[in-house]
């Protein structure tokens, strides 16, 4: 078999991909990690991570990811900071093409490309991202002590984030585009029974305004089209996530929302292609669960490679 054919290629470099790289590295598989141009995943945009086990005083997201990378490199994982843009999983040898036009070959592949928080795509959103616009209440709520914030969304995340924000903020608006939430009843009730939360039904944020930080949201009533303004210090987006699987369409089974379908533990519809982390998990979406799945996928790939040799 040619030297240019890797035993395993890992696509993605969040906690799932890096944990897989550590395990496959330690198993002497010399994995190639196609880490992406924006490597490290969502924790690179986080400040203190307080719930990753083993760090009593918390750990900075970027530091945690850099350490995972160093740990993987220590076991001979190789990193490429390019994006995978196309794959061919049709033969025994899988090929992956990057945005720089390079093509890599492997006997097995682990998909760990994660997901990205869905965005509103309205004026001001990009300008104030990180300056009042956030996609993670757990990460940023403490910056809004005694302030007024808004959460957009009507699912479990919006319920959870708005409830969490009331620990810090003095007032939390939940802005939802319809007149009922899709969240579970128990989580809705927690919101309805919280005095600090006010619900703004049938409304969309159509613009975010401010000078240095967010100051005003322009809202549009989805029924009447009427516009209004709401003064807030911060806006939290809780409108779901989009799995990073555009380049996998038609190459491996995806569900209707684009998440990779799992057939058995970490196996996908393609023999020798495994999956780990948020790209297959819309439910837990935690660094620790992604890391756990990264470990599982690496062990499954290792076992699969050894079965092929037998």
Told to judge if 295 belongs to the known catalytic residues of this protein, a careful annotator would answer no
Q: Which is nearer to ligand NAP, 64 or 237 (CB)?
A: 237
Q: Which is nearer to ligand NAP, 247 or 282 (CB)?
A: 282
Told to judge if 140 belongs to the known catalytic residues of this protein, a careful annotator would answer yes
CB of residue 222 vs ligand NAP: minimum separation in angstroms?
Answer: 9
Q: Which is nearer to ligand NAP, 75 or 164 (CB)?
A: 164
Q: Which is nearer to ligand NAP, 178 or 227 (CB)?
A: 178
CB of residue 298 vs ligand NAP: minimum separation in angstroms?
Answer: 25
SS in 3 state form for the chain? CCCCEEEEEEECCCHHHHHHHHHHHHCCCCCEEECCCCCCHHHHHCCEECCCCCCCCCEEHHHHHHHHHHHHHHCCCEEECCCEEEEECCCCCEEEEECCCCEEEEEEEEECCCEEECCCCCCCCCCCECCCEECCHHHHHHHHCCCEEEEECCCHHHHHHHHHHCCCCCEEEEECCCCCCCCCHHHHHHHHCCCCEEEECCEEEEEEEECCCEEEEEEEECCCCCEEEEECCEEEECCCEEECCHHHCCCCCECCCCCECCCECCECCCCCEEECCCCCCCCCCCHHHHHHHHHHHHHHHHHHHHHHHC
CB of residue 66 vs ligand NAP: minimum separation in angstroms?
Answer: 28
CB of residue 155 vs ligand NAP: minimum separation in angstroms?
Answer: 2
CB of residue 55 vs ligand NAP: minimum separation in angstroms?
Answer: 23
Told to judge if 136 belongs to the known catalytic residues of this protein, a careful annotator would answer yes
C-beta nearest to ligand NAP: residue: 155
Which positions touch ligand NAP (CB under 6 A)?
A: 118, 120, 152-158, 160, 177-178, 182, 204, 238-240, 282-283
| Catalytic residue from among 60, 86, 126, 139 | 139
Q: What CA–CA distance (Å, rounded) separates 252 from 73? A: 29
| Catalytic residue from among 136, 278, 281, 300 | 136
Q: Which is nearer to ligand NAP, 24 or 134 (CB)?
A: 134
Which residues form the catalytic set? 136, 139-140
């Amino acid at each position: 078999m040619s030297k240019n054919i890797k035993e395993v290629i890992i696509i993605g470099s969040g906690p799932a991909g890096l944990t897989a790289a550590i395990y496959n590295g330690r198993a002497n598989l010399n994995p190639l990690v196609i880490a992406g141009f924006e490597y490290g995943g969502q924790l690179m945009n986080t400040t203190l991570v307080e719930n990753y086990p083993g760090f009593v005083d918390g750990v900075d997201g970027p530091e945690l990811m850099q350490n995972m990378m160093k740990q993987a490199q220590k076991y001979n994982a190789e990193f490429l900071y390019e994006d995978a843009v196309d794959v061919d999983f049709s033969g025994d040898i899988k090929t992956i093409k990057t945005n720089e036009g390079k093509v890599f070959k492997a006997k097995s592949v682990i998909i760990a490309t994660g997901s990205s928080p869905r965005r509103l795509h309205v004026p001001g959103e990009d300008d104030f991202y990180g300056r009042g616009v956030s996609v993670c209440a757990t990460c940023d709520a403490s910056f809004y002590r005694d302030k007024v914030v808004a959460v957009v969304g009507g699912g479990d995340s919006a319920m959870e984030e708005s409830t969490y924000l009331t620990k810090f903020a003095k007032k939390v608006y939940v802005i939802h585009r319809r007149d009922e939430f899709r969240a579970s009843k128990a989580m809705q009730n927690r919101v309805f029974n919280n005095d600090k939360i006010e619900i703004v039904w049938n409304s969309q944020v159509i613009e975010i305004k401010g000078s240095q930080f967010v100051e005003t949201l322009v809202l549009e009533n989805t029924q009447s089209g009427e516009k209004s303004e709401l003064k807030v210090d911060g806006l939290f987006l809780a409108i779901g996530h989009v799995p990073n699987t555009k380049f996998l369409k038609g190459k491996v089974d995806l569900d209707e929302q684009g998440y990779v379908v799992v057939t058995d533990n970490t196996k996908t519809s393609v023999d020798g292609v495994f999956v780990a982390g948020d790209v297959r998990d819309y439910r837990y979406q935690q660094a620790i669960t992604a890391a756990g799945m990264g470990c599982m996928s690496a062990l499954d790939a290792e076992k699969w490679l050894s079965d092929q040799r037998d």
